[in-house]
Amino acid sequence: MNDPTELPRSVINYDGVYSLLKNLDNDPVLENSAFKNLSLVKVCRRNNPLFSNSQAIRRVFTDVLNNLAAGSEKHQLYAYILKGRFWDNYSIVKMTTSGRLDQMAPRTFSNEQKKAITSFCETLTALEQQCIKDNPELDMIQSDDSTRDNSDVRTLQNTSGSDTKTIDHKGRNRLFIAIFSLLVIFSLINWFITRSTNLDKENLSVASLPATSTPEKGIGQQASTPELLTGNICKEKAAYPVNVADNQFIRSQGIIIFNKDTTPGIINNKVRTLQSVTKGVWLGYFGTEKDPSSGVGFYDRENKRLLDCSQTGITEGENINDIEIDRKGTVWIGMEKGGIASYNGSVWRLYKTEDGLPSNWIYGLYVDNQNNIWAATYKGIARFDGARWNLVYSVENNSLINDRTHIITMDSSSNIWVGYIENGVSVFHPSTGKWEHFTRESGDLSGNKIRNIVVQPGSSTSEDTIWIATLDNGISQFRSGKWTSFTEKNGLPSNEIRDIALDKYDRLWAATDKGVYIYTNGRWSQYDRVDTVYLTFGVDCKGKEGYCLNDEEVFTGTSNLGITHSRIPLPDEGLDVLRVCFITTEDHEVCPDLVRDEALNTVIVNYPQPLKPGDKFFMKAVVSPHNPYKLLESRGDMLIHVDADSSYLYGAFERIPVAGSIESGQEFAFIDTNNPFVAPVPEGSTRQTYFSTWRVWMQTRLIGPNIRVSFTVEKE
Sorted by where each begins, the domain ranges of the chain are 14-145+170-197, 268-496, 575-714
Please, which pLDDT band fits residue 364 given cuts at 50, 70 and 90? very high
Q: Which of 96-100, 101-105, 224-228 has the lowest mean pLDDT?
A: 224-228
- Read off the pLDDT of residues 170-218 as tens digits, 9 standing for 90 and up: 444 554 555 555 555 545 544 444 444 343 333 322 222 223 333 332 2
DSSP class of 523: E
Pairing of strands 508-512, 515-520: antiparallel
pLDDT at 174: 52
pLDDT at 509: 98
- Read off the pLDDT of residues 35-47 as tens digits, 9 standing for 90 and up: 988 889 888 888 8
Looking at this protein, which amino acid is placed at residue 258? F
Looking at this protein, which amino acid is placed at residue 38? L
Residues 6 or more apart in contact with residue 244 via CB below 8 angstroms: 256
Query: For residue 650, is it left (φ>0), alpha (ψ between -120 and 50) or beta?
Result: left
Nearest to 570 by CA among 278, 301, 274, 254: 254
Residues 6 or more apart in contact with residue 151 via CB below 8 angstroms: none
- Read off the pLDDT of residues 647-657 as tens digits, 9 standing for 90 and up: 999 999 999 99
Q: How far is residue 391's CA from residue 381's CA, in Å, rounded to a whole number?
A: 6
What does the H/E/C string look like for 209-267? CCCCCCCCCCCCCCCCCCECCCCCCCCCCEEEECCCCHHHEECCCCEEEECCCCCCCCC
Mention the CATH class of domain 575-714. mainly beta
Q: Which of 29-33, 61-65, 215-219, 223-227 has the highest mean pLDDT?
A: 61-65
Q: What is the mean predicted confidence (pLDDT) over 677-704?
A: 93
Residue 73 pLDDT > 90: no
Please, which pLDDT band fits residue 50 given cuts at 50, 70 and 90? low
pLDDT at 142: 45
Residue 254 pLDDT > 50: yes
Is residue 606 classed as helix, strand or coil in its secondary structure? Answer: strand
The dihedral sign for the CA sequence 167, 172, 175, 176:
negative
Is residue 78 classed as helix, strand or coil in its secondary structure? Answer: helix
Q: How far is residue 346's CA from residue 564's CA, in Å, rounded to a whole number?
A: 29
What are the φ/ψ torsions at residue 488 (nearest 5 degrees)? -60, -25
pLDDT at 163: 38
Nearest to 500 by CA among 467, 465, 463: 467
Report the helix count and the strand count for the chain, using DSSP H and E: 8, 45
pLDDT at 556: 98
pLDDT at 156: 28
Is residue 53 classed as helix, strand or coil in its secondary structure? Answer: helix
Q: How far is residue 315's CA from residue 295's CA, in Å, rounded to a whole number?
A: 6
Report the mean per-residue pLDDT for the chain. Answer: 85
Nearest to 313 by CA among 196, 230, 234: 196
Please, which pLDDT band fits residue 683 given cuts at 50, 70 and 90? confident
pLDDT at 312: 92
pLDDT at 53: 85
Contact 408, 421 (CB under 8 A): no
The CATH number of domain 268-496, selected from 2.40.110.10, 2.60.40.10, 1.10.10.60, 2.130.10.10? 2.130.10.10
| DSSP class per residue in 475-507 | EEEEETTEEEEE-GGGT-S-S-EEEEEE-TT--
Q: How far is residue 326's CA from residue 530's CA, in Å, rounded to a whole number?
A: 30
Nearest to 244 by CA among 653, 562, 528, 558: 562
Bridge partners for 308 per DSSP: 238, 297
Residue 699 pLDDT > 50: yes
Nearest to 331 by CA among 405, 235, 198, 242: 235
Contact 96, 36 (CB under 8 A): no
Contact 467, 497 (CB under 8 A): no
Q: How far is residue 135's CA from residue 132's CA, in Å, rounded to a whole number?
A: 5
Contact 154, 53 (CB under 8 A): no
Give the burial string for 501-510 (b: 16+ CB within 10 Å, else e): bbbeeebbbb
Residue 222 pLDDT > 90: no
Pairing of strands 475-479, 482-486: antiparallel
pLDDT at 548: 95
- Read off the pLDDT of residues 414-461 as tens digits, 9 standing for 90 and up: 999 999 999 999 999 999 999 999 999 999 999 999 999 999 999 878
Is residue 394 classed as helix, strand or coil in its secondary structure? Answer: coil
Residue 262 pLDDT > 80: yes
